[in-house]
Amino acid sequence: MLVSGIHYRTVWLAGETVKMIEQNQLPFSFQIHDCPDYRATCGAIQTMVVRGAGAIGSAAGYAMAQAFLAGDDAALAKTAIEATRPTARNLFYAVERVFAAGLAGGAGLAVAEAEKIADEDCAACQAIGEYGAALLPENCRLATHCNAGWLAFTDYGSALAPVYVAARQGKNPFVYADETRPRGQGARLTAWELYGEGIAHAIIADNACAFLMARGQIDLMIVGADRVAANGDAANKIGTLEKALAARYFGVPFYVAAPTSTVDAACPSGDAIPIEERDPVEVLYQSGPDENGVMRTIRVASPSSTASNPAFDVTPAALITGIITEKGIFKPENIGQALLP
């Protein structure tokens, strides 16, 4: 995707340094963050400098390659990288592939495998855009949750990729981007992407989606996924489940967009997906620029209260209309077919 006319991937390897767009600073400041070793890359994943299923996967693959390049203990590095974010399947998928390549052929093969994974992620998301755009009629009003655009993948994105393709086809889509508390990825990242693409959109409060569905103002909803179980259950950003329930009640088609690297064939159902619990600080505080452009963090909740902060929930396959992959659109119960050669 283009930023001020320059093409960027979300994350890439330059020599032995992993570079990534600093997503914690968006949309107020566009910065490139450098990670000189795998430990720094692990820290960037944990603190969500880089976030989103595919982008995490590419970053984790590069981190594993960094360990081989530096001659670090690869097994210890693998354990550390896999401990950064427990829910996203793409992270484990990438680390396993690069680790195996490094053991077989050293640092050179590890780097080549990491680059291959990043390239595959781009190609898969591009195909998702083509398949998903066919679902969008002209002047479609679409809702999405969190950020599953190009910032969440190495490029193109998953849930937003069909929107970008449809816009280029002249279909004139309109997107409702819910704010996505507690970190505001919809209000900050999805809206920033859509503005940059010239796509009409509105930021809505997290609890406004059902109201708009009830009024017939949403034609369909597409979300991303951080892990899809073998039975079609899908884990995504917390708040996705309630959107799926509302969509079912009001008859709004509800799609999940995810590359096959997000599908975990070894995970029988959503009950087996680990759910990350993040720091309560994310719920209690918010950050943004003051009137002078200085980033400030302020408490927005009761000073005497604590918080619970599950990062993901699981949407049962029964609530999902279809899963858009790089191999086509599948019924949730048939997602295993997408993994066949």
Active-site residue, 226 included: yes
Sheet containing 11-14: which strands, arranged edge to edge? 11-14, 17-21, 32-35
Calculate ∠ Cα 21-119-82, nearest 5°: 65
Closest listed residue to residue 225, CA positions, set 273, 192, 190: 273
Neighbouring residues of 126: CB distance < 8 A, sequence distance ≥ 6: 155, 156, 161, 326
Neighbouring residues of 44: CB distance < 8 A, sequence distance ≥ 6: 18, 20, 33, 35, 50, 59
Report CA torsion sign: 242, 201, 89, 38.
Answer: negative
Which one of 178, 226, 264, 313 is the catalytic residue? 226
CB 48 within 8 A of CB 24: yes
- Distance between CA atoms of 201 and 280, rounded to whole angstroms? 30
**CA of 328: how far to CAs of 53, 130, 307, 337, in Å?**
19, 9, 40, 10
Q: Which residues are catalytic?
A: 226
